[in-house]
Chain A
Amino acid sequence: MKSLFLALIGMAVAPVVGGLVSGLDRILTARCQSRKGPPLIQPFYDAAKLWGKEVTATNPWQAFCAVMYLVAAAASVGLLCAGSDLLLIFFVQAVGAVFLVMGAYAVPSPYSQIGAQRELLQMVAYEPLIILTIVGIRLMTGSFRVDAVFALDQPLLFKLPLLFLVLGYALTIKLRKSPFDISACHHAHQEIVRGVYTEFSGPYLALIEIAHWYEVILVLGLVSLFWATSIAGMILLVAATYAAEILVDNVSSRMTWRWMLGSVWLSGLVLSGINLVWLYAR
């Protein structure tokens, strides 16, 4: 009962916090480029405006996929807040990501199709890394559950420093930041129109925006697990990680998918391999 309650609170609060984080992201990005940037609540204006626009969908599949993406993203945040199983959270999140890809594949637009293919490649790149991070947490706590992490008396970061770096790699892809914003960028600029988002419009795009806020919160939640022993440590770690993501986003250019797969798998698998062997041999 208590976990259900926590899940509902998390699902209610997450879009508000996620939207504010996105607004802060846009302001900080603008400041990095010596611009002033939009107001903090700009993402809410954007989503509300999109919600009020004409409803157009190329086919019912597209609309269904947008809704399912939001449902899965919200459910994964709810499960995280309820202290559920990390693997379950990860797979629910993956279902949402697959629905986004299917929605983009459901229309014949070449931009949408290329965006969907690239989104799949991104998933291929980051999913093994997140799984390996979860394996590392399992080796430390003896359980896949989130509440087991909170029962530890020492932050995970000290035992899993390399896996934290690997998670940072995976999260840069998940947050659609440069150099990995190849399927769709979270900013307006784009090489293939809007990639995987191209054919979603009006209220369905608003649903996808809200789903992205949920995903931002899920990502930051995963980061906060690495310093779960104190609230201040969690906030500090999340803030430092997100600031680093914004910095990386602004100082790097978009790379190709081949470079992404090569670099992410090579560095990610080597770093997580070293960390896991060290944990096992200790």
Chain B
Amino acid sequence: MSAPGRLPRWADYGLLPLLNLCAALLISGLVIRLIGESPWAALKLMAAGAFGAQDSVGYTLFYATDFVFTGLAVAVAVHAGVFNIGGEGQAYIGGLGVGLVGLAFGSWSPWIVVPLGIAAACAFGAAWAFVPAWLQARRGSHIVITTIMFNFIASALMTYLLVNVLIKPGQQSPESREFGPGAVMPSVHQALGMIGIPFAPSPFNLASLLALAACLLVWVFIWRTRWGYALRVFGQNPQAALYAGISPQRTILVSMLISGGLAGCLGVNELMGSEHRILLDFPGGAGFVGIAVALMGRNHPAGILAASLLFGALYQGGSQLAFDMPHVNRDMVVLIQGLVILFCGALENIFRVPLAALLCRAGGSGRT
């Protein structure tokens, strides 16, 4: 007997997120209307800001790359039934790994340093996820709490390191010196330039390929390996996992290590790909956006890719909106982003039941 509110796949993965998005945009439009701007113009500005020019597309994809990493990080943990809120901190510490490699080996060949940096990002991010995971697996400490705490610890640690240890001597800003030339992930405009295709400069870099590879690997891991299978069994039904002989502790640890490693890769995109130095707060909330991205993407890499693009466009388009509409300030943009997260994440089910009823009625009358 089907539960009320079960939808066909196309509606669950396509129509429902679209409806949620429209609802979010509708309310945002109302707010924009309220402050005396035209919602339609705002929407056009946002769309043009996100996709209207080469560098806009570059920025959109750059942000999207961040969100792919953090979204995948959340999704892998969710498949194991673990809610990892610590993507932000893991990304921050992952970036520390990238940065240390960049500072120490920046003069070496990029063919060595870039893979080393990626490895360090994964290792540092995973290490930062390990402690909360271990506490959950062995001590039963609630992982939501511990990962949040670890976000704060990460930011305290990074502030300390940047202010006291890694800061470029004689400088005000708490930033490290620039990495050497070896620790630079080529940007897409450079890469395209080399093969003769001109592209406007943007931070969009080859870490995006890493993100695509990560999508594929996560898909293979979750749906095509026995470990991913075990992870899903545990996440969906811990009792069945016990019955099958799947160790809860190991599953939690493995899922969190992978999750942390993925979040850590954000450091590759931000630091090796764009900033080329370690600076304060470079994850900029992408770890949290990852939660919304995973929710909206139904924890599937393809969905996460799509949701990341949407959020990348929201970020880039939103900044363009703030740039071009004097009355839409930064907080308005945050509000719009927040509404999208609210509707696509927290309230994603508000249209589910009515939609299911509607489809059911349409389907039922079609048959009789």
- A pairs with B: no
